[in-house]
Amino acid sequence: MLNAEGTITMRPILIPDYFTEFKCIGSACEDTCCAGWNIEIDKKTYQAYRKIQHPEMTEKLQNNIKVNHKSNNDKNYAQFELNNKRCSMLLDDGLCSIHKELGEELLCNTCAVYPRILTKVGDITEKSLTLSCPEAARIVLLREEGIGFKEMEEPKNTRGLLNKQLRLEDNPYFWDIRIFIIQLLQSRQQSLEIRLILLGLFLQKIGQLKEKEFKLELPMIMQDYLNRLDNRSFITSLENIKGNLNFKFNIARELIRYRMSGGGASEKYLTILHQLLEGLNLEEDDEHQLQDIEQSISKYQAAYENLYEPFMQKHEYMLENYVVNYIFKSLFPCDYKSLFESYMMLVIHFTLIKLHLIGMSVKQQKLTQEMVIECVQQLAKMIEHNSSYLQGVREGMESAGYNTMAYMFVMIKS
């Protein structure tokens, strides 16, 4: 975008330091990002397709685009038809025919931007990656040094699709809280589980503050919780929190059953799921009862001690990076209607990843970085892009009475 003087108008952006490393690897990718999803077409791109002068592509576009008559905005004006759950624009090699024949500039916003996530905090545009893309998952999870952030500038007319926007007038302490949360979660003198519990205690504490108390008390509370990382007696009390695997298995079973009832599961996710169910003996009988809960608990504990824990002693940064990336891209803890609800959804994501990893490790009798990447990527693809599923999870947790900090801590510690 040019200003009156003919120069490019720039805007400030905030990005994780991994962001500029990402490049789509095309046909070398082990997954197809546009398989199994409805791909929305913005109105501007739809109109551009109507003007294409390319005999083969003109016909292909006309036959495989459906206008969304229920849409009330230009973002999802139309969508591509699916052919066996795959975008009808895909070639046999998994590449996009639009990209190949017409060029990147004629991709719809959805395809041009993915897996990039754009959000806005006040006047600052933020960019990150969703880990439903395998290459994005590798770049983010394998950063042993952790995730840093940096400010840059880019032209204001850079293409993008805004996912969320946060008004600082409504959330005046967002930056202070977010910076503290990331600092807390990257403080590696304690396990990630302990850091997540401390996060819950912190959010519970500030959730009790009156609006006029924030300015004075928030800095002291943040410093107090950072100090607790080195308070041995306090950390011991958190380490002594008892998990409940019966509860965790029941929750996981309901979450998985609810997700599978919606359909759309990829073959790769189904493979991971079957490893979990078989590895931990979580198959149900005809009355939907776990067949042998004691055997499931025994297998879980053995895998945790012999496979999961030894792996995480060296590679816990992978799950730390997942959590930090989740927090940044979702504008946590302002992504739901309350601090607790935001925390609950984070814990559910973490718990499901941990449970699937332990189930996979039992079945394969090992746990590797590649297994973590595949698990996180498939769960992100199955869960994070399904708003109706996430809403159902929230409602289910609330109706069952599981929406308390005590239950969250039990889920983390199990």
Q: Is 13 a domain residue?
A: no
Per residue in 154-186, pLDDT tens?
888 777 778 899 999 999 999 999 999 999 999
Query: Per mean pLDDT, which range of 5-14, 210-219, 337-346 is the poorest?
Result: 5-14
Provide the mean pLDDT of the chain.
Answer: 88
Q: Is 8 a domain residue?
A: no
Peptide bond into 333 cis (omega under 30): yes
Distances from the Cα of 221 to the Cαs of 172, 174, 177, 214, in angstroms? Answer: 17, 15, 11, 10
pLDDT band at 288 (very low <50, low <70, confident <90, very high): very low
Per residue in 323-372, pLDDT tens?
999 999 999 999 999 999 999 999 999 998 999 999 999 999 999 999 99
Distances from the Cα of 131 to the Cαs of 61, 253, 378, 385, in angstroms? Answer: 29, 24, 9, 11
Question: Quick one: 272 and 208 in the same domain?
Answer: no
Q: Which of 24, 25, 48 is nearest to 116 (CA)?
A: 24
pLDDT at res. 286 = 46
Return the residue matching tokens 């309350």. 338
pLDDT at res. 403 = 85
Domain boundary among 113, 138, 161: 113
Q: What values do phi and psi take at 155, rounded to 5?
A: -60, 140
pLDDT at res. 249 = 78
Question: Quick one: 73 and 209 in the same domain?
Answer: no
Q: Do residues 46 and 77 make contact, with C-beta atoms less than 8 angstroms apart?
A: yes
Q: Which of 141, 140, 207 is nearest to 177 (CA)?
A: 207
Question: Quick one: 257 and 403 in the same domain?
Answer: yes
Distances from the Cα of 149 to the Cαs of 14, 17, 152, 270, in angstroms? Answer: 7, 5, 10, 35
Question: Quick one: 191 and 262 in the same domain?
Answer: no
* Mean predicted confidence (pLDDT) in 39-55: 89
* Mean predicted confidence (pLDDT) in 204-209: 96
Does residue 230 or residue 393 have the better pLDDT? 230
Q: Is 142 a domain residue?
A: no
Question: Quick one: 307 and 369 in the same domain?
Answer: yes
Question: Quick one: 367 and 405 in the same domain?
Answer: yes
Phi-psi region of 237 (alpha: psi -120 to 50; beta: other; left: phi over 0): alpha
Domain boundary among 183, 215, 236: 236
In this structure, what token pair is assigned to residue 319? 């799950």
Q: Is 138 a domain residue?
A: no
Q: Is 88 a domain residue?
A: yes
Torsion sign across C-alpha atoms 198, 199, 203, 204: negative
Question: Quick one: 60 and 179 in the same domain?
Answer: no
pLDDT at res. 258 = 64
Question: Quick one: 179 and 294 in the same domain?
Answer: no
pLDDT band at 10 (very low <50, low <70, confident <90, very high): confident
Q: Is the pTM of this model over 0.75?
A: yes
User: Chain-centre distance of CA 265, in angstroms?
Assistant: 17
Q: Is 163 a domain residue?
A: no
Rg value, the chain, Cα: 23
Question: Quick one: 297 and 194 in the same domain?
Answer: no
Q: What values do phi and psi take at 175, rounded to 5?
A: -60, -45
Q: CA-CA distance, 397 to 344, in Å (whole number)?
A: 9
C-alpha neighbours within 13 Å on the C-beta side of residue 30: 14
Q: With helix as H, strand as E and coil as C, how does 153-210 read?
A: EEECCCCCCEEEEECCCCCCCHHHHHHHHHHHHCCCCCCHHHHHHHHHHHHHHHHCCC
Q: Is 155 a domain residue?
A: no
pLDDT exceeds cutoff 90 at 311:
yes
Strand duo 116-121 + 162-166: pairing = parallel
C-alpha neighbours within 13 Å on the C-beta side of residue 375: 28
Number of domains in the chain: 3
Q: Is 320 a domain residue?
A: yes
Residue 220 structural domain: 174-236
Q: Which of 311, 398, 338, 399 is nearest to 200 (CA)?
A: 338
* Mean predicted confidence (pLDDT) in 190-201: 97
Question: Quick one: 283 and 364 in the same domain?
Answer: yes
Question: Quick one: 322 and 227 in the same domain?
Answer: no
Domain boundary among 60, 85, 113: 113
Distances from the Cα of 142 to the Cαs of 211, 272, 281, in angstroms? Answer: 40, 21, 31
Per residue in 234-274, pLDDT tens?
999 999 988 888 877 777 777 677 666 666 677 888 899 88
Query: Per mean pLDDT, which range of 24-38, 75-89, 194-208, 396-410 is the poorest?
Result: 24-38
Question: Quick one: 257 and 222 in the same domain?
Answer: no
Q: CA-CA distance, 77 to 404, in Å (whole number)?
A: 40
